[in-house]
Structure 1
Amino acid sequence: MKKFKIPLIIFAVVFAASAAALFFYVQKDLGEKTGVEVEAPAWVNKNGSSGKMPVSGKVAKSGNSIKSGQENQTESSPSKDNKKVAKTKTTTPVANKTANSPVEKAVDKIKATIITEVFLENLAQYIADSYHPAGSLPYKTKQDFSSASFKGINMHFGLNLRGLMPNAENLVTARKSIWSYLLTPGKLAAISKSDTGQLLDLIEEKGILAERKFVEGDNFSVRELTTTQRAEMFRTSSQPLRHVAAVLKAVADNPDLMQALDSYIKAEKRVDSANGIFQLDLDNSRNSKSEAARNKAAHSGKILKDAITIREKIKTGITQKIKSYCAGKCDKPDDSFYIAQWTFRRVHTDEKKLKSIAAGSEILNSIADKMIERAEAIEKSM
């Protein structure tokens, strides 16, 4: 045993010394700061290109760790080497910098506004597609008309924004962001001033390219729109704008309509509640088949019927009030009520937004006037 004692002691000493040296150099290596600062590419925002993964401002050399932001805040003053690196960075111009590139400028321009040229293109296409000349399929009407409506356009762009560019995570917040932007005082007027001319030009372009099916005896033929029809497209497309403008003004100018709409929303909730209770009682009566269960279901059904009656009476009262207040074309009760409901949800008790609604009414009438002017200009060019 004694002959192994001295080698064991030597081995232990060597092992301890090696471990200490290894620990010292590893600690030194891990603690070393690289000081290498890098910029994220111009197309990456501060929260990362996906908006979820943050972009680090540090790049570690091979074998070195990247310090977190919190650790960097608790560190002592930077070393002399780091100061030299920082100084070198500020004095050395960055090569191939893309901050002022044409691509980035174009992207910044798109991000600066919700209303893009793509949206105007799609809106013009919707308006042109909604025009139906007399005798065209599928309606075969005797007069030209536009099928565009407030509800139709809201559904068309509500489920697919089609060129609207809000900074939002989902469709619901996107809609809120869009209307919060548009109903900001003065915003609708500014957009109308800058974009109406371009929109009318795009509508005219779509009209030139448009084709319609026309009845010819037992068959049909596909033809382009005539110059007269293109002029009439603008004239008929102005009518839905007049209708929406008249309803918006009636709602904006009469606070009692907002109170009536609040009553309707409450009545609608009572109908939903009564229907839930009725469906439950009806299901129980079918399962138990007892007289008491049937009577309870009948009573719940009567409460539901009364709730529906009250809701519909409020709705009828609102549409009649809109028509009495309306100074323009408000001869579509269902569409008028839809517009009033939409206005209530967007505005409710916010007077600033209500003023924007009133301003929007004037803007729609102004656009309708410009559509008539464009129709007359097309007719003069014949």
Structure 2
Amino acid sequence: MNKFKIPAIIFAVVFVASAAALYFYVQKDLGEKSDLEVNAPAWVNKNGSSGKLPVSDKVAKSGDSIKPALENKTEPIPPKDDRAIADSKTEASAANKTEQSPVQKTVDKIKDTIITEVFLDNLAQYIADSYHPAGSLPYKSQKGFSSASFKGVNMHFGLNLRGLMPDAENLVTAQKSIWSYLLTPGKLTVLSKSESGQLLDLIEEKGILAERTFAEGDSSSLHELTREQRAEMFRTNSQPLRHVASVLKAVADNPDLLQALDSYIKAEKRVDSANGIFQLDLDNSRNTQSESAKNKAAHSGKILKEAITIREKIKSGITQKIKSYCAGECDKPDDSFYIAQWIFRRVHNDEKKLKAIADGGEALSYLADKMVERAEAIEKSM
């Protein structure tokens, strides 16, 4: 046993000395304090690079944060006031809002509206591109005209919203969101008054930058629009607006047209059903070559023909009725019927939406008047 006593004593002495040295250096480190200032990089300001996160001027060593905790470990920590915490969060949130960057403000503005400047710019480009001066290719018309139409606009913006910014997950819900926004009574009237000036300015800008190809004998050349042609651009594009406005008003003022459209939709479905049966019977008669199969195909063909006749009679009656009700330019039967169908799908029997359709007619008439005024102003400056 004696041979283990000396190593044990040496081990005990070394352990005690190491523990004492460790304790001495720890106490020395905890006792030091630091007021070392650290300057943030140049790209960081007092409110943080994002404008939201505060940046501290000082960095404390670990001893500064550990020592007070050791000294006060026996004292109870007072409970925080929940209301004070909520108030401080509210104040911080308010401060963040007041410190929004211009980009963030622009984003918030876009989120608050569906009609954006991008949409207005695209609409202005569509309207300007729809103008075809006399002699321009490919039409070589005797006088200038506009190819703009309600169907054209619907196709142009329907599948690619081109600046319309609804908060939606897909195209279908986006379209519903857009028309829910626009078909609120009074909304289109407000928008026509607030946005028409900017839209007309954009159209005029597009006209100044526009070029058209004109036929010159056996060749062609590219020319900018003259001042006279830019005035004509506004005047000719006012005509499709008046046409759509007149149809909207005719349908909105005569709800019985919607009932007729409901009959048309039913007749159209009957045609689709009859055509399906006829195609099956016709295919069967060709395969079997039996007399009974041929008679059956002939009978289903007759039913299909009758269904088509009924559908077309209803369509013709609707277009004639629209023209009789229409007080303005309603001399495009196919376009008038397309507009009426569009109204039926959006409105059905909702009186509020029907009122919004009437507002839309007035808004388009207002915009058409403003286009004529702009054309006159351009002509006076010649």
Matched position secondary structure for 1:212: strand
- Structural mapping, 1:58-77, within 5 Å: none
CA 1:288 to 1:238, structure 2 compared with 1: closer, same or farther past 3 Å?
Answer: same
- Structural mapping, 1:219-238, within 5 Å: 219-238=219-238
- CA distance in 2 between partners of 1:112 and 1:151 (Å): 28
After superposition, the C-alpha distances for 1:104-134 in whole angstroms (9 at most, x for unaligned) are 2211110110000000000000000000000
After superposition, the C-alpha distances for 1:266-306 in whole angstroms (9 at most, x for unaligned) are 10010111111111222222222222112111111111111
CA 1:81 to 1:367, structure 2 compared with 1: closer, same or farther past 3 Å?
Answer: farther
Q: How far has the Cα of 1:189 moved from its partner?
A: 1.1
Residue in structure 1 matched with residue 348 of structure 2 by the alignment: 348
User: Contact 2:189–2:362 at 8 Å: present in 1 too?
Assistant: no
User: Contact 1:210–1:225 at 8 Å: present in 2 too?
Assistant: yes
- CA distance in 2 between partners of 1:88 and 1:110 (Å): 33
- CA distance in 1 between partners of 2:264 and 2:178 (Å): 26
User: Contact 1:98–1:104 at 8 Å: present in 2 too?
Assistant: no
Q: How far has the Cα of 1:192 moved from its partner?
A: 1.0
Do structure 1's residue 270 and structure 2's residue 301 form an aligned pair?
no
TM-score by length of 2: 0.76
Residue in structure 2 matched with residue 9 of structure 1 by the alignment: none
Matched position secondary structure for 1:231: helix
**Letter of the 2:196 counterpart:** T
Instruction: Count matched residues.
Output: 304
Residue in structure 2 matched with residue 367 of structure 1 by the alignment: 367
- CA distance in 2 between partners of 1:127 and 1:298 (Å): 50
- CA distance in 1 between partners of 2:157 and 2:335 (Å): 17
- CA distance in 2 between partners of 1:351 and 1:206 (Å): 38
After superposition, the C-alpha distances for 1:238-279 in whole angstroms (9 at most, x for unaligned) are 000010011111111112211111110110010111111111
**Letter of the 1:202 counterpart:** L
**Letter of the 2:276 counterpart:** G
Query: Taking every aligned residue pair, what percent have the same amino acid on both sides?
Result: 79
- Structural mapping, 1:257-296, within 5 Å: 257-296=257-296
Residue in structure 1 matched with residue 189 of structure 2 by the alignment: 189
Residue in structure 2 matched with residue 298 of structure 1 by the alignment: 298
- CA distance in 1 between partners of 2:77 and 2:307 (Å): 78
Residue in structure 1 matched with residue 200 of structure 2 by the alignment: 200
Q: How far has the Cα of 1:188 moved from its partner?
A: 0.7
User: Contact 2:114–2:178 at 8 Å: present in 1 too?
Assistant: yes
Q: How far has the Cα of 1:89 moved from its partner?
A: 8.6
- CA distance in 2 between partners of 1:189 and 1:142 (Å): 36
Gaps of 5+ in 1: 1-41, 43-79
- CA distance in 2 between partners of 1:292 and 1:83 (Å): 94
Bigger Cα displacement from structure 2, 247-256 vs 332-341: 247-256
- Structural mapping, 1:1-382, within 5 Å: 91=88, 99-100=97-98, 101=100, 102-382=102-382
After superposition, the C-alpha distances for 1:2-30 in whole angstroms (9 at most, x for unaligned) are xxxxxxxxxxxxxxxxxxxxxxxxxxxxx
After superposition, the C-alpha distances for 1:160-184 in whole angstroms (9 at most, x for unaligned) are 0000011111111111111111010
CA 1:158 to 1:82, structure 2 compared with 1: closer, same or farther past 3 Å?
Answer: farther
- CA distance in 2 between partners of 1:264 and 1:194 (Å): 38
CA 1:81 to 1:220, structure 2 compared with 1: closer, same or farther past 3 Å?
Answer: farther
**Letter of the 2:234 counterpart:** F
